Structure 1
């Protein structure tokens, strides 16, 4: 045995002991709780099975469309007159913009309304829930849905072909009637074709269109598989295959209709503008023709002279130019008015009636930006950066158009003045013509002007109407919606694998948490490194069984072949290494009660007696004696009587009945002043006299961590055995043992590690004599412990 004094350290060094990491010991702690792993793996697999039974499988449906993007060379066929007309109003499309438009909230809400997806029908089938889309026996048309109706499903019980009832109500109702209840006001109709007649209990779910649209958009994926192409791939996930196909088809229909509406808006505005102008010109032309007819009738003019005809042709040509200039000025004024009042219902001008390419380009760009702004305004918030960028571009384009219009108007004004000067000269020439003929020429000139303008507007109206009628969509369906054969969610392999991994990880976390929260002594090294004292012996945990119902409260049969009995024999052998080998008076103490002082002292005394040693066990726990209960002897008289001088100690020593050489001196009646009784000087005298009669005197003392009685007894003993119990003694109590050892308060202090669980995870095994716990036959019968008992112990 090592010399205790050779390993004395300071208290600071005890507090800062660094424990080396032992991988084997770390892994064995999990083996100790091996039964948790199959339990949690089994429970995890059960949870996975129930989850797969309850969760509806989700399928993925895909479709693809082609977007005609002129920037990527996908415009209409060249030379096609219909394509030329449609491109006058259609503008250019960007695939990126169309991608965001398809994913807009507005389009999805329209899909929900047209398919009536805000009312869904489900039914229970075992543990799972089935969807009754297109197979529901009834249809509910809600007029008003209350907030409660959006939160709780309404249950409809189908009684027969004519009647049904709501929830748990007993009243029967008929179909095609208006009902009012807590869910709202609605009408229930009976379906006849394509229904599931096996369902008699239907859950009806009402969902707000806005919330449902957000949820469906989360399940919708729109992506561009190849950045070099203009193909968009749409993927929608749903538990019902037919519903997912209907959603994608309806979404594409709504998108196409929205695109056509945007494309026709400019042509419609232009057509309205031309119709208004035609109305004015038609009235003016009719008035002029009446003037010609009236003038000829009143003046009797049937023909004009050759000179008048020449002036008339020149004036007509000049007036035609002047009329064209006035028309262009009128168009420029309409352009200026449209730009100034854009967004306030102003009619868009006909861009192809302007021959200035710069202005035409600016107007086309402005109309495209205006259409984009309207699209994003419906699908995004006002603070969206993309919308703000378009607004900025609109402002810049509007300013450029205004400047260009002003420049053109100034040029047209100069041209108009020149033409009016020429007309003035021609008019002077006509003065030589007779007054009647000159007046007739003037009226005829107005008639020609109105006719040319009228024919021009008729031509443009037909072109605009043809373009409006021939407008086609800029997208084309490539693949119809196709659904996957197997569900994409939940993935059974992943669920089963995750359940198995969870069943392994959860016990690991629990075990680590138990070790982190456990502040009791678990390992032999903790005692050695924290107290710097020697461990004289280890005592294994006594198992409770049918033959041993009391567990650690029992007295071991020293003839037994159990491992605990062998450990007491090893401890008996190690007593010769205490001090100089002559320690005969030994005290047992601990930090707190319940650490096994009485158990160890009784069984060690029995073991010494079986080795042919006379042993006396003295109970000096004068505050809470238990020794007499273990040995089942009387405690009416004992050590307290000796210490107060009521008689000789030989009068109070009793035979235990365990072995003829094993006697006991119980504590006796509990005195009012135990500390004063132990320090009155009679204890050392009694011990000296008893040494002459016994080979070993073992003293069961009170816990040192609670009272000072042990310190009073320690000065009269040869050695002190401090009991530390596995998974019971607190780690903080080891500090007290280190302080006692460092200050030499107790002579020949050693530690006995009691109640050690030698199951896998303890880390060492029985270290004396090379035996392993459970090696002996008496242990093998009780080695297996039920899982239930292990769980109860783990929880405790």
Structure 2
């Protein structure tokens, strides 16, 4: 037959009670409130004494040197870093390069910082410092100085000066020269009215430019606005918004100057080469002009015969073509010599207007890649992957350029040979022309060639000069540096939300860990989970009474303690009727696993509860090792009591059972009690005496119910020695005291049937965990208003 308890066990084991799990945490709501309050207070003070950080940003667009509409765009495939992403990444490295950032530090004087001393924090003043410190030292030495000192203004004209905070202050006057290990400096107020500065404390920190630049480089963030985009977003975070915007604007300015200088170097090299050629051609042209004057003057030549004009025109055309070819050949030789003799990578002339466009294209591409390499070397080493790839590309272009020059030279040599042959044929036809006229024409031809070349070089020099003075912009500023106006950190809303979350999670984690590591039972439900095949009669609540009398139930008692024993009595009667016990059916043993689980307390109150129903009840103190019943009812023992107990009965055969039993009135309830007596030296041997059977036979026949308070079953063998005289056994556990692992012993006793009719009871259960209706309290008791109800009432 399945009883109510077994049905409850099945439902408990097969269902998950979310409401019960949450109630475990709701019971500890005060700890959650306290934890949230403490976390909010901690965040308040953290925000109160944390310096806010502001973020400034700017947006720029890079302008590439390669014009895709140019014929040189066809050569872009020769470069391994021709992609937009690679170019943008290179420029990002240049923007964050040490040279650019150090220039910003120097221009904004960021290596000198002014701080004002507060009670808890010190704040940087940046440009709002009321004093100015002028250092009298060379820039090269000052840029490496690491120095710190304190200024406490005490009068309108003087201040206290300290190098270390614990040093003895030295009185100094405004404008007085103060000596240091690296030089000297002068402190002056920015405003004439210094009275308002009295009592203020300042700290001045001088940092090396390199270390300050490294600090800024770590804080500068540069990102592409989107993939394959040439638009860059520059971010910088600092406690001072104006400082952040100034640094970003300075970085943009210094980057533009630096890239412009790189472009000007290439244009200057080309202009210098053209200047040297112009001077050489001008000298040759002057010599040719002088030759014509001398020849005409000496030979008195004024006109050329029309007959020789046609031949001479043909000769002129051939001579000019031959001269152009030779000129191109000389230029090719010059470029070839430049390529062969330049051991290091240097720009080469790229706009001399040679006949082969591929040579001009390759030389221009070579100069562009070389400029990119020089710019990249400022932020990366020669072993950088991109630099190595550029070196390989430059070497490849250099080889291609040399090969193109050699091919062009071969072509020009063939062309020159052809022109010379044609010229010899034409010259043979003009043998009839006077020698003087022929020689004059030759001089004039040289004059025209030199003159055309001279004018061409002058034009190219002007173009180079214009390029040098009007360099194309390297970037376009889309958005100047600005900040949103509100700090990015600390985020007050997120901090307070995080503190609330932390305030909830801390007690939750503690309660969860405590529950997870808890190895003890706390109520009937915990016990039913551990032992599923033994009936649980009920729970006994925790009693917080100060007086011992309050631990015992009274007649007509309506307390929760009394009602819990009535529930146990009712459940025991129900189980008792369902069992068929032949011998000692009215004998109930009360035992436990270990000491301190409340056997004697339960035994006395159970006996009183049963006696309150007008039944004859006998309470036997069978725990002769550690008797507790005597101390519980010592106020009820009369002076004329015999004082004979179970021990005396077992030792002295002359003592009858009736002489050991006394009647007591406890809280107006009459009950018969057989006390344990004196503690014997051999309790186990005494309990094995044959007189013990006589005792239980007598008690079973004379009383309606016999309650036997026995020793702990696991600690001693006393209970098991007399277990055959028990019709029923109530096995007591204690909430918050009995460990779950110890209950394995109770399972073994039940499985081996060493204790007859085992039933379980949970003692000392707190009202928060008491029964299934702990939320509703005891029926009939006055309702207790919760803290929240009292507030809203």
How does the TM-score come out when normalised to structure 1?
0.78
The CA distance in 1 between the partners of 2:243 and 2:17, in whole Å, is: 60
Aligned partner of 1:645 in structure 2 is 652
Aligned partner of 1:773 in structure 2 is 777
Please state how far the C-alpha of 1:590 moved relative to its aligned partner.
2.0
Please state how far the C-alpha of 1:537 moved relative to its aligned partner.
1.5
Contact 1:111 1:251 in 2 (8 A): yes
CA pair 200-751 structure 1, distance change in 2 beyond 3 A: same
The CA distance in 1 between the partners of 2:28 and 2:47, in whole Å, is: 30
Aligned partner of 2:91 in structure 1 is 101
Deviations 1:599-641 (A, max 9, x none): 3223323333444445444443344444444444799974444
Deviations 1:72-123 (A, max 9, x none): 9999xxxxxxxxxxxxxxx999598347624642044543444344554444
The CA distance in 1 between the partners of 2:272 and 2:625, in whole Å, is: 112
CA pair 329-74 structure 1, distance change in 2 beyond 3 A: closer
Aligned partner of 1:134 in structure 2 is 127
The CA distance in 2 between the partners of 1:553 and 1:330, in whole Å, is: 126
Equivalent of 1:597, from 596, 599, 604? 599
Aligned partner of 1:793 in structure 2 is none
SS at match of 2:259: helix
Aligned partner of 1:711 in structure 2 is 720
* Alignment of structure 1 residues 723-734 onto 2, 5 Å: 723-734=732-743
Please state how far the C-alpha of 1:579 moved relative to its aligned partner.
3.1
The CA distance in 1 between the partners of 2:608 and 2:283, in whole Å, is: 136
Report whether the alignment pairs 1:588 with 2:585.
Answer: no
Please state how far the C-alpha of 1:748 moved relative to its aligned partner.
1.2
Deviations 1:428-466 (A, max 9, x none): 899999999999988887777656544443332222112
Please state how far the C-alpha of 1:40 moved relative to its aligned partner.
2.0
Contact 1:223 1:234 in 2 (8 A): no
Contact 1:553 1:630 in 2 (8 A): no
| Structure with higher RCO (Cα < 8 A, 6+ apart) | 1
Aligned partner of 2:75 in structure 1 is none
SS at match of 1:158: strand
CA pair 673-476 structure 1, distance change in 2 beyond 3 A: same
Q: Which moved more, 1:498-507 or 1:304-313?
A: 304-313
Contact 1:563 1:774 in 2 (8 A): yes
Aligned partner of 1:32 in structure 2 is 27
Report whether the alignment pairs 1:48 with 2:57.
Answer: no
CA pair 332-281 structure 1, distance change in 2 beyond 3 A: same
The CA distance in 2 between the partners of 1:315 and 1:257, in whole Å, is: 54
SS at match of 1:592: coil
The CA distance in 2 between the partners of 1:396 and 1:462, in whole Å, is: 32
SS at match of 1:134: helix
Aligned partner of 1:362 in structure 2 is 362
Report whether the alignment pairs 1:535 with 2:536.
Answer: yes
Contact 2:85 2:227 in 1 (8 A): no
* Alignment of structure 1 residues 73-152 onto 2, 5 Å: 97-98=87-88, 101-102=91-92, 104-106=95-97, 107-118=100-111, 120-123=113-116, 125=118, 130-136=123-129, 137=131, 144=144
Structure 2 unaligned spans of 5+? 71-80, 136-141, 789-793
Aligned partner of 2:219 in structure 1 is 216
Contact 1:616 1:696 in 2 (8 A): yes
The CA distance in 1 between the partners of 2:574 and 2:451, in whole Å, is: 137
Equivalent of 1:756, from 741, 765, 771? 765
* Alignment of structure 1 residues 660-679 onto 2, 5 Å: 661-662=670-671, 664-679=673-688
Deviations 1:217-258 (A, max 9, x none): 2xx354437989x65544443321101110121011012112
Q: Which moved more, 1:380-389 or 1:460-469?
A: 380-389
The CA distance in 2 between the partners of 1:155 and 1:587, in whole Å, is: 86
CA pair 700-393 structure 1, distance change in 2 beyond 3 A: farther
CA pair 95-334 structure 1, distance change in 2 beyond 3 A: farther
The CA distance in 2 between the partners of 1:304 and 1:553, in whole Å, is: 154
Report whether the alignment pairs 1:158 with 2:167.
Answer: no
Aligned partner of 2:490 in structure 1 is 490
Aligned partner of 2:331 in structure 1 is 331
Please state how far the C-alpha of 1:134 moved relative to its aligned partner.
1.7
Number of aligned residues: 737
Deviations 1:727-761 (A, max 9, x none): 332222333333322332211110002222332x7
CA pair 449-300 structure 1, distance change in 2 beyond 3 A: same
Aligned partner of 1:794 in structure 2 is none
Q: Which moved more, 1:736-745 or 1:335-344?
A: 335-344
Contact 2:750 2:758 in 1 (8 A): yes
How does the TM-score come out when normalised to structure 2?
0.78
* Alignment of structure 1 residues 392-407 onto 2, 5 Å: 393-407=393-407
Q: Which moved more, 1:471-480 or 1:195-204?
A: 195-204
Aligned partner of 1:242 in structure 2 is 242
The CA distance in 2 between the partners of 1:317 and 1:553, in whole Å, is: 139
The CA distance in 2 between the partners of 1:188 and 1:734, in whole Å, is: 84
